[in-house]
Amino acid sequence: MKNLKGQKCVACTIDAPLVDEAEYSELMSDLPGWEIVKEEINKLVKVYTFSNYQDSINFATNVAEMAEIEDHHPAILLEWGSVRVTWWSHKIKGLHMNDFICAAKTDQLKSG
């Protein structure tokens, strides 16, 4: 357990290391409901559900505001009753520790 939500993102440069796949299971143990999805590259994905559209909008806005503070930006798909959040690091084309930190902070936004 790495207390991901208590960490801050660091500037990610083109030569920053990808998180080693051997570390995935330890990091994912702090991120219930998140999945590592292999598209062209590995990405962290989770869908949050809500009882109405306004709650979905509010959550998506909160995620966007947190992302701006962390200077690390996800893909956010807003739909009625759900928000799909996808984290990955564009510069290094894969998963950086920042993605896991921001996933934990996203969960924290949902839980209160």
Q: Could you tell me if residue 6 is inside a domain?
A: no
- Given a contact cutoff of 8 angstroms between Cβ atoms, the answer to whether 42 and 36 are in contact is yes
Q: What is the pLDDT of residue 41?
A: 94
Q: Could you tell me if residue 10 is inside a domain?
A: no
pTM: 0.92
Domain count for the chain, please give it. 1
Determine the structural domain holding residue 28 and report its residue range: 16-111
Q: Could you tell me if residue 67 is inside a domain?
A: yes
Q: What is the pLDDT of residue 112?
A: 62
Tens of each residue's pLDDT in the chain, 112 residues: 477 777 777 777 788 888 988 899 899 999 999 999 998 999 999 999 999 999 999 999 999 999 999 999 999 999 999 999 999 998 999 999 999 999 999 999 997 6
The CATH number of whichever domain residue 73 belongs to comes to 3.30.1360.20
Sign of torsion over alpha carbons 30, 92, 7, 68? negative
**What whole-number distance in Å separates Cα of residue 24 and Cα of residue 109?**
22
